[in-house]
Structure 1
C-alpha cells in the first residue's frame, strides 16, 4: 500500500488491529463520539480523505480498509470471508479493541452493505447509519435489467465461481480498475492522485482481487439470503438512517433510494446529490452538508 496516502489524513494515526481471521489496516483521528467510515469497491480507506479530517474536528474517526481490501489481510482462504455478516462481526471486534462499544457507521458502496448488516445484527452497537450510493442487496437483484447488467457488469462477473473472475482481472488489473473508476467518478481526474495510486497498488495484489470476488460472490448468495430472511421476518434498522444517493437514480419500478430504505428502517431521511457514484470523493462538500447535522443530532455534539 502507498504510505503517501496517509498524508491525506493529517493528524491521523496508522494502526494495525489483529483479530483471529484478519489483520486490519486502520487510520484513527480526532476525539469525541466514534464514527466508523467504510469504503466501497474498488477502493481503500483513501476514499474518505475529504471527509475524515473534517469529521475529526468533533468526533473520533476510524477509517479501516475493509477485510481483504487494501492493507487488511485475511489469514488464508477463509470460508465465508466475503459475507457482510462476517465483515460486520470483524469490524465490530475491531471497534471494541479500539475502545468503542457503540458508534455511528457511514458506508459507501460495499462498505454500506457491511454497514446495514451491522445495524441489523448489532443494534446495541450501531447508533446511527448513513448509506451512500446503495440500496439493499435484494432490491438490487430484483430490479436487475439489461441496462443494469450492461452498466454494472461487475456484479455478475465478479460473482462467478473461482477462478473465472480472478483470471479475468489478472489479465490487465489496472485497465479494469481505471475503466471502473473512470465511470463511477465521471472522470479519473476527479480523484486525488494519491488516492488513485492507493487504489491501483491495492488492485495489483491478487489476494485483494480474490477478496473482492469473494465479496461479490457473497452478495449473490449468503448476503442476499440473510437480507431476505430479515425482510420476511419484518426486521428493521431501529436507529436513525440518513440516505445519500446519486441524484436522479431510480431502482426497480422507478423507486427512489429513500423510499426503498423506508422499507428497511424506522427513521429515514436523505437527499440525492449530483456527482456520480463516488460521492465521498466527488461531492464531499455536499455530503458533509447533510452528514454533519445528522451526526450532531445523533451524537448531541455541537458543530465546531
Structure 2
C-alpha cells in the first residue's frame, strides 16, 4: 500500500508523535480516517489524488494506529475533537502548509468539522464521509440508531469495561465491526489494511485511546458543539454517504449539514459505511472534482 509515499513520524510541540503518510506534488489535501481504522483506509484513494495533481497527507489520529496514545484526562479533553484538530493543523504547518483542504471519514470527519470551526482561515474546503453532526445524532437517538450504532453507547462506559471486553478478542471485534458497517463483505478490504487495523487493536493502549475518543464525543465535544451552535462552517462542504448505511437511512444528509454550514453539496454512493474502501473510485472522483473547485 501507498507505493511511493513517505511514511514517517512527526513530533509536535507537545511531544506527541504522529505517524503520517505523504506523497504527491500540488495543492495539499489532508485525509483523516475513522474508527476502528488507520490512515491505511485511504490506500486506494491517495494514489488517485496524487495522480490528479494533489499532495496527500494521511496521518493516524492520536490514539490510533502508530501515532502516540497519551493517557487521557478526567474530562476526556485529551481525545476531544478540538485537541485532535489542533494536532492536524500543527502537523500541516510543520509540513509547510498554512492552508489546505481536508476530507474526513467517520471520526476523521468529526475532527475535520471541529477544525473548520476552530481554524476557519486554515480549512479551504471540507469533505465529510458518512456522518451527520455529532450533536444532531445524539439529539435524535432512537431505537434504530441505538441498535445500529450501539458502540456509541458501549465505548463511553467507564473504563475498564469496554477495554476489557474488546481486549479479550480484538481481532474478532474489529472484523465484526468492519463486516457489519460495510455492506460489501470483508473481501473489499485490503488484507494489508485489515492486518494494520488488527495490529493496532491488539495494543491495549489503542483500545483505551479509541474508547476515550468516544467518551470525549459524549461529553466535552458536545460542550464545544453547544458553544458553537449558532456558528456555521464557511468553507465549501461536500458530504458523501453510503446509500446502504444507517446515516443515509436516518437523515436527510445534505439538509442536516445545511444546519451547520453555509455552502453544502453532496450525494449518496451505492455502498455501506466504508466509502474509501467499498467505493474507492467513485469516492476519489467525487473528492478530485470537489477539491479542484475554486478556492475561497
TM-score, with normalisation over the residues of structure 2? Answer: 0.94
Name the counterpart of 1:125. 122
Residue 218 of structure 1 pairs with residue 216 of structure 2: yes
The structural deviation recorded for 1:150 is 1.5
Name the counterpart of 1:65. 60
Separation of aligned partners in 2, 1:92 and 1:299: 18
Secondary structure of 2:241's match? strand
Name the counterpart of 1:5. none
The structural deviation recorded for 1:171 is 1.4
1:203-214 matches, cutoff 5 A? 203-214=201-212
Secondary structure of 1:93's match? helix
Segments of 5+ residues of structure 2 without an aligned counterpart are: none
Contact 1:144 1:252 in 2 (8 A): no
* Cα separation, partners in 2 of 1:253 and 1:33, compared to 1, 3 Å: closer
Name the counterpart of 1:241. 237
Aligned length: 291
The structural deviation recorded for 1:63 is 0.5
TM-score, with normalisation over the residues of structure 1? Answer: 0.92
Secondary structure of 1:46's match? helix
Secondary structure of 1:69's match? coil
Segments of 5+ residues of structure 1 without an aligned counterpart are: 1-7
CA-to-partner distance for each residue in 1:166-199, whole Å, 9 max, x for gaps?
Answer: 1111111111111101112221111011001111
Residue 190 of structure 1 pairs with residue 185 of structure 2: no
* Cα separation, partners in 2 of 1:48 and 1:280, compared to 1, 3 Å: same
Separation of aligned partners in 2, 1:105 and 1:132: 11
Contact 2:241 2:247 in 1 (8 A): no
Q: Pick from 270, 275, 286 the counterpart of residue 274 of structure 1.
A: 270
Contact 2:10 2:20 in 1 (8 A): yes
Contact 2:63 2:209 in 1 (8 A): yes
Contact 1:35 1:61 in 2 (8 A): yes
Name the counterpart of 1:172. 169
Residue 10 of structure 1 pairs with residue 7 of structure 2: no
